[in-house]
Structure 1
Amino acid sequence: MGSSKQLIANERGIISGTDLIRSIIHNEPIEPIDGGIVEDFIKLNSVSYEHKLVLRNIIFKEHFDLSEAHFKRSLDLTGSTFEQNVNFSDTEIERNLVLTEAKIKARQEKYQNLTNFERVYVRGILDARALQADVKLNFNYSRIGNLVLHSLPEQQTICKAEISLIGAKIVYELNCSGMKVAKDLVLQSAEIQGDFFCNLRKGYCTEVMGDVWMIDTKILGRADFSGAKIAGDLELQISEIKGALDCKPEQDDRQQWHYTTIGGKAILSGAKISPLVDFRGARITKGLSLERAEINGNVFCQPWENSRTEILDLVNCVGVQVTGSMRFSGARISGDLDLKGASIKENLFCQFENTNCTEIQGRVNLTEVQVFGSVDFSGAKVSGDLDLKRAEIKSKLDFEVKETHRTEIGNNINLAGAKILGSVNFSGAKVARDIVLKGVEIAGSVKCRISETFYTEVGQNVNLTRAKISSSVDFTGIKIQGNFKLEGAEFSSSFVCDLNQVNLKNIEKSEANFKECTIRCLSVKFAPSLKHTKLNLAFTKVVKLIISNSLPDKGFINLEGFEFQQLELPDESESNGSNGNRYIQFLEATKPFDEGSYLFMENWLRNQGAQLDANRVYTEMRRRNRREKVSLEIKPIRKWRLLLKSYRGWLRLTKILWIVSVQQVYDWVLDFTIRYGTATNRLFFFYFLPVLMFSWFLFFNLQSVELDWTLTASDLTSSQVIERSIQQKPRLLENQLSVHPTRKDWTLMNAFWLGLKTSIPVIPFASTDKWTPSSQPIACFNTKLCLISYDTYAKFIALLGWITVPLFLAGISGIVKRQP
């Protein structure tokens, strides 16, 4: 090979384009040229050149076409200016292509669409640092070892049109740091086997005035947009990035932070990215989409220093799969946060961080999400619903106060059907409407305590219908404007609620509904001023029930089918008329009336050894049953005229009269005499014994008895009859002679037996000489007490005896008690 050919510019600085073309075509080595003007059309299609070609700072006036050329060594065009189009289509350069500080102007419109590097093949570096291009840079389907487009300290890389790398393959690295693109940056279906940089460079921020299209792009290294400014969308759909996506801030030489801003959407739908997606401190104007993306690592949307991440529209993470954590702590999201069906292997954080509150101005959709760690909304503010229906959380769920900042939810918190293996903490949170835990399964505890002086506030209801909670439930610090709904729930540990704060605005409609619940220990606290809160325990089963402070008013408890093993009630006996029995007051507060509740309480008290309280409970049950029947049947009497117009009406009226009169009298007798079989002994002490003693006293008088016999003619001749009749004034009444005994014949014992026979006529006690009560008026110490005779008195007492003795026996045998 001969010596290098030297091309010298003339006195006007013009270099012969013809000589340049001829030398390249003939494969002649050319001395490096620095400076000059080439006015000729440079067309070297399909040429093969084996030497290094250096054409620095040359001004090419015409079209520069090297399409399909083959350069076995480097091509250096540093500082050159191309006033028309540059065409490197299908050009192969086995070393480097240097376009540092080059300028591509292409003023003529007919050439602008032809300006490209399409299918260019550069084995080494395509160095276009500080390139100034007025036209589109087309690198579609090119193969480049290392593409360098970053800015230099003295000059920024600028493209006043679009840069396109559709289907391009970069073997090592694509560096666009500090570059400014007036339109789109397109890397659709491109493959970069190293890193892709669009970050800060030498004080210049990467600026893309259009969109960044990276659909179906594969990057084996990192995609770095730190501090970049993108006016349009950042499109990364179905792309694959193996070395992280960085959109965090970056600091320049003057220690100033530059934050990534995206004027459109950041779309990562279906992308596969590892090990990090970092939007810390970024600002995204039209939303972020991670729909169906696979993130093999973490997603960060946290504050950076004092600058928070701002996403001014929807965050769509439907179906995203994240092997690490997702962190939206301190972020501001103007739309919804949608994570429906997402799978997160570690944690989901949306709590207060670095003096910044997480603000979500739409709803949070975590329906069917799977989180293998914790979900934390401590100190967050959500304007809409927080929806966790059918979610699965392997650790805890937090809504507690964070650094004096309380969690605020503008609508509902819905965990219907969710499964949570850890605890749920609502302490200090403020929820505008409902907390729905319907059908939830929680292996840990549920807390609604006071936190940092904040009560847990719920604007409407707390619904735990059919919930299953394995650990304790603590609602001691909650304020609810609506009701507790816990129908059919199962609580394996304790449930503690303070109903003092329930429904402060509408007390009359508040309700704590524990219907059909299964609870190990239920502790309920009532304030005396809020006793109108309804407590529904229908068909509830508890091991232990504790009601403290006070009991609800009458009619505000439902105990139908309620079962318990232990019971603790406040003692308010001094202020109520329930015979000093708090169990009776508890039962009297029930509505509707249920005999089973009374009978269960009675049996429980008997098992506790409290026989007296048990008897009182049974008696009150019978009394209330009597009252309830009257109140139920008395109402139709007001329409008795209508009842009389038909046969059925007559039957109805007859039944009413029976209930109101006869049966009520019968029940009252049972109550007054033997307390429905619970105090049968009172008949003995309050009836039999006083009557016996009084009768004994009355019949000790000689005038109180007379001989029970019939006077005949033979009796008048009898000396014995005459002898007994001398001491008194016999009188003849219908052939009957009253014969009174002497003190010798009528002793104190005779009077006792007659009194006993009179008081208990059921038992035939015998008396001497058949002495019977006389027809004389009752007298005491020869003074008449009344006009009633001893005989009339005895008949009346005997009649009462025929009633009381069977009643006594029925009470002793338990017949009355078995028939309520």
Structure 2
Amino acid sequence: MLSYDELTSPERELWDAFPEGRPVDLRAGVPEDDRVAEGGQWGPGRTVRATVIVALLLGANTVESGAVACLRLAGARISGHLDLAGAQIAHALWLEGCWFEESVNLLGASLRTLVITRGRVPGIEADSARVEGNLDLRGSVVESLASSPFNHVSTALSLSDARVTGGMLLNGAHISAPGGWAVAAGGLVMEGGVFCRGGFVARGQVRLMGAQLPGGLFMRGAQLEDPGPGGVALAMDNAVVSRLDFSDGFTANGTVHLRRTQISDSLSFEGAVLNGPPGGAGPALTCRLMQAVDVDLTLARPPSGTVDLRGAQVTHLYDSEQSWPDVVELEGFVYGSLDPIDSIEVDEPGERRQASGRRNSVDSRVAWIRRSPGYNPQPYEQLASWYRKAGHDDEARRVLLARQRHRRRTLPRVARVWGHLLDVTVGYGYRPWLAGVWLLALTLLGTLSFRTHAPTPVQRGEGAPFQPLVYTLDLLIPIGGLGQRTAWYWSNGSLQWLAYLLIAFGWVLTTAVVAGVTRALQKN
């Protein structure tokens, strides 16, 4: 138990100020002397033992009636280990511009607002902690812990299964665990927002797997670096969040994992840079089975790694020419609308209205689908369905025709030949007018050829007079008959062979029409 006589001068000042919540400022007032990076050189006049802080927070000094006790300390060197594991703390803790010799242990603690701003801390461990208020680390430098009972890798800020009723403020903070976990917050419940803006830098992986963030995650302009051997800069698998803001220069030098993430509002990568793991060894963005409403993928430049959208469900997707790398996984991707950003006009601030643009041309969208490796019919059907809902049936048919042409590449040689025939004759049933073009061309060929010579009747004096047009149509129509084909034959060998070819073309054309229309009516 500490006695008042054992306290140093700055510790007595803090002890006396605590019951009334008065701030204690040990800073010299000279910028060169107050740099936190040089805090290890601060002498006894600016040093407070961690045990004194622990004693005050646990009720060592009687709280005065009519005052709100609070520990407010600025510009101090905190010596020793600040160990509050499992503690029940009823007072707010405000530490500004402080330099910690050792890490802060809040494992399983219950406390009020925790503020450590513009300080330097060699690790904060707050797994399973409960904070009734805000967790504020703005402008602080938090470095990796040497070890942790829960994590087998170096960790700087550990918040696994913690619960915060307010928000977490990390604006301007530098969280550093290169090759390890900069932030380990699996299962975190943060009722307010998580703000990582204003120069936030994380060296090491940011892990928010299974986190619940109803207030949203805002990482505008944040930098994620040194993800380690796994190459994952941000892991938010199975998280539930209202809004994700990775815009305005957000840079991830590693994979961003949003697998099975549920986003009730918007996901924005507007102006972001997704570099993926070094050397292109993995995907830049993985959104497999993700669910979101508005998704803005208008990046600053194309990602350097794959974008995986397999099984994702999105209501509105905004994209541009900079959105997509060479490989995009689209199998099972479902969207309600596609809004190209270069065809968006603004009516009111924060609102968008779609105008016509080349990004939604069929050719560009089909090229987008073909960035997906292999052949899968679902992306084509999804795009065709969207065109139909938009009232563009012609565009939908063009997409389905492109699907058949893509599928043809995967078939055996004989099937590919038949596919080419269907394509040329009726466009796989999506261009039935081609059959009319072929019929007209063959009819003209036959009529003009047969009128140059007189055929020989099968039975003289019987049957209708020879009509080149009717005779040609009779050859081309395989079903029924107009009475000309059976009544005349040719002694001229070339014209007889032309008649045979027209009969063959008639059968082929009819078969292609039936097969093409049947295939067009089928789902696949």
Q: How high is the TM-score relative to the length of structure 1?
A: 0.40
Compared CA separation, residues 196 and 214, structure 1 to 2 (3 A): farther
Structure 1 residue 398 corresponds to structure 2 residue 306:
no
Structure 1 residue 239 corresponds to structure 2 residue 119:
yes
Q: Distance in 1 between matches of 2:191 and 2:405?
A: 51
Which residues of 2 match residues 267-346 of structure 1 at below 5 A?
Answer: 267-275=136-144, 276-297=156-177, 298-303=181-186, 308-318=187-197, 319-345=199-225, 346=227
Query: How many aligned residue pairs are there?
Result: 385
Contact kept in structure 2, 1:485 and 1:512, CA below 8 Å:
no
Structure 2 counterpart of 1:546, one-letter code: H
Which residues of 2 match residues 688-703 of structure 1 at below 5 A?
Answer: 688-690=452-454
Structure 1 residue 584 corresponds to structure 2 residue 409:
no
Structure 2 counterpart of 1:219, one-letter code: F
Structure 1 counterpart of 2:190, one-letter code: I
Contact kept in structure 2, 1:282 and 1:310, CA below 8 Å:
yes
Q: Give the secondary-structure state (helix, strand or coil) at the position aligned to 1:148.
A: helix
Structure 1 residue 383 corresponds to structure 2 residue 293:
no
Structure 1 residue 429 corresponds to structure 2 residue 312:
yes
Contact kept in structure 2, 1:191 and 1:219, CA below 8 Å:
yes
Q: Distance in 2 between matches of 1:457 and 1:237?
A: 44
Structure 1 residue 158 corresponds to structure 2 residue 60:
yes
1:535 to 374, 391, 398: 398
Structure 2 counterpart of 1:434, one-letter code: H
Which residues of 2 match residues 615-626 of structure 1 at below 5 A?
Answer: none
Q: Give the secondary-structure state (helix, strand or coil) at the position aligned to 2:182.
A: strand
1:234-278 per-residue CA deviation (whole Å, 9 max, x = no partner) reads 22232222x112222xxxxxxxxxx32222211222222212122
Which residues of 2 match residues 126-205 of structure 1 at below 5 A?
Answer: 140-141=25-26, 142-144=45-47, 146=49, 148-149=51-52, 157-161=59-63, 183-192=69-78, 194-200=79-85, 205=87
Which residues of 2 match residues 723-762 of structure 1 at below 5 A?
Answer: none
Q: Give the secondary-structure state (helix, strand or coil) at the position aligned to 1:586.
A: helix
Tell me the residue number matched to 2:511: none
Tell me the residue number matched to 2:335: 458
Which residues of 2 match residues 338-357 of structure 1 at below 5 A?
Answer: 338-345=218-225, 346=227, 347-352=232-237, 357=238
Q: Distance in 2 between matches of 1:311 and 1:513?
A: 49
Compared CA separation, residues 537 and 336, structure 1 to 2 (3 A): same
Which residues of 2 match residues 505-544 of structure 1 at below 5 A?
Answer: 507=388, 509=390, 533-535=396-398
Structure 2 counterpart of 1:288, one-letter code: M
Instruction: Kindly state the Cα deviation for residue 161 of structure 1 after the two structures are TM-superposed.
Output: 4.1
Q: Distance in 1 between matches of 2:164 and 2:286?
A: 27
Q: Distance in 2 between matches of 1:435 and 1:351?
A: 20
Contact kept in structure 1, 2:328 and 2:371, CA below 8 Å:
no
Q: Distance in 1 between matches of 2:63 and 2:104?
A: 22
Q: Give the secondary-structure state (helix, strand or coil) at the position aligned to 1:416.
A: coil
Instruction: Kindly state the Cα deviation for residue 144 of structure 1 after the two structures are TM-superposed.
Output: 4.0
Structure 2 counterpart of 1:437, one-letter code: D
2:6 to 81, 98, 109: 98
Contact kept in structure 1, 2:47 and 2:76, CA below 8 Å:
no
Comparing 219-228 and 489-498, the one that deviates more = 489-498
1:494-543 per-residue CA deviation (whole Å, 9 max, x = no partner) reads 674434455769946365999xxxxxxxxxxxxxxxxxx342699x9x9x
Contact kept in structure 2, 1:419 and 1:440, CA below 8 Å:
yes
Compared CA separation, residues 569 and 399, structure 1 to 2 (3 A): farther
Tell me the residue number matched to 1:804: none
Q: Identify the structure with the greater helix proportion.
A: 2
Tell me the residue number matched to 2:108: 227
Contact kept in structure 1, 2:10 and 2:47, CA below 8 Å:
no
Q: Distance in 2 between matches of 1:229 and 1:386?
A: 33
Tell me the residue number matched to 2:95: 214
Instruction: Kindly state the Cα deviation for residue 314 of structure 1 after the two structures are TM-superposed.
Output: 1.0
Q: Give the secondary-structure state (helix, strand or coil) at the position aligned to 1:235.
A: strand
Q: Distance in 1 between matches of 2:201 and 2:427?
A: 54
Tell me the residue number matched to 1:407: 290
Compared CA separation, residues 159 and 584, structure 1 to 2 (3 A): farther
**Which structure 1 segments of 5+ residues have no match?**
1-77, 81-85, 87-96, 100-116, 163-180, 249-258, 401-405, 450-454, 467-482, 515-532, 550-566, 573-579, 599-615, 624-669, 699-820
Q: Give the secondary-structure state (helix, strand or coil) at the position aligned to 1:159.
A: coil
Compared CA separation, residues 331 and 508, structure 1 to 2 (3 A): closer
Compared CA separation, residues 444 and 263, structure 1 to 2 (3 A): farther
Q: Distance in 2 between matches of 1:368 and 1:425?
A: 21
1:283-326 per-residue CA deviation (whole Å, 9 max, x = no partner) reads 111111111222222432433xxxx2111011111231111111
1:185-227 per-residue CA deviation (whole Å, 9 max, x = no partner) reads 21222233x4451412xxx6051423x2222222243233333
Instruction: Kindly state the Cα deviation for residue 385 of structure 1 after the two structures are TM-superposed.
Output: 0.8
Tell me the residue number matched to 1:743: none
Compared CA separation, residues 484 and 493, structure 1 to 2 (3 A): same
Which residues of 2 match residues 38-53 of structure 1 at below 5 A?
Answer: none
Compared CA separation, residues 326 and 134, structure 1 to 2 (3 A): closer
Instruction: Kindly state the Cα deviation for residue 442 of structure 1 after the two structures are TM-superposed.
Output: 4.1
Instruction: Kindly state the Cα deviation for residue 379 of structure 1 after the two structures are TM-superposed.
Output: 1.7
Compared CA separation, residues 282 and 587, structure 1 to 2 (3 A): closer
Compared CA separation, residues 311 and 581, structure 1 to 2 (3 A): closer
1:569-613 per-residue CA deviation (whole Å, 9 max, x = no partner) reads 9759xxxxxxx864131298569x9xxxx9xxxxxxxxxxxxxxx
Compared CA separation, residues 570 and 262, structure 1 to 2 (3 A): farther
Contact kept in structure 2, 1:368 and 1:390, CA below 8 Å:
yes
Structure 1 residue 264 corresponds to structure 2 residue 133:
yes
Q: Distance in 2 between matches of 1:513 and 1:348?
A: 43
Q: Distance in 1 between matches of 2:263 and 2:22?
A: 45
Compared CA separation, residues 671 and 534, structure 1 to 2 (3 A): closer
Q: Distance in 2 between matches of 1:149 and 1:500?
A: 68
Which residues of 2 match residues 537-686 of structure 1 at below 5 A?
Answer: 545-546=405-406, 582-586=423-427, 589=430, 672=443, 675=444, 679=445, 683-684=448-449, 686=450
Q: Distance in 2 between matches of 1:239 and 1:360?
A: 29
1:696-725 per-residue CA deviation (whole Å, 9 max, x = no partner) reads x99xxxxxxxxxxxxxxxxxxxxxxxxxxx
Structure 2 counterpart of 1:535, one-letter code: R
Q: Distance in 1 between matches of 2:235 and 2:394?
A: 32
**Which structure 2 segments of 5+ residues have no match?**
27-44, 145-155, 277-282, 344-358, 410-414, 462-524
Compared CA separation, residues 350 and 140, structure 1 to 2 (3 A): same
Higher relative contact order (CA 8 A, sep 6+): 2
Q: Which has the larger radius of gyration?
A: 1
Q: Distance in 1 between matches of 2:259 and 2:393?
A: 27
Instruction: Kindly state the Cα deviation for residue 159 of structure 1 after the two structures are TM-superposed.
Output: 3.3
Instruction: Kindly state the Cα deviation for residue 487 of structure 1 after the two structures are TM-superposed.
Output: 5.6
Contact kept in structure 2, 1:328 and 1:350, CA below 8 Å:
yes
Q: How high is the TM-score relative to the length of structure 2?
A: 0.60
Structure 1 residue 447 corresponds to structure 2 residue 350:
no
Compared CA separation, residues 79 and 508, structure 1 to 2 (3 A): closer
Instruction: Kindly state the Cα deviation for residue 393 of structure 1 after the two structures are TM-superposed.
Output: 1.9
Which residues of 2 match residues 71-86 of structure 1 at below 5 A?
Answer: none
Contact kept in structure 1, 2:224 and 2:252, CA below 8 Å:
yes
Contact kept in structure 1, 2:167 and 2:190, CA below 8 Å:
yes
Compared CA separation, residues 310 and 494, structure 1 to 2 (3 A): closer
Contact kept in structure 1, 2:169 and 2:195, CA below 8 Å:
yes
Contact kept in structure 2, 1:335 and 1:363, CA below 8 Å:
no
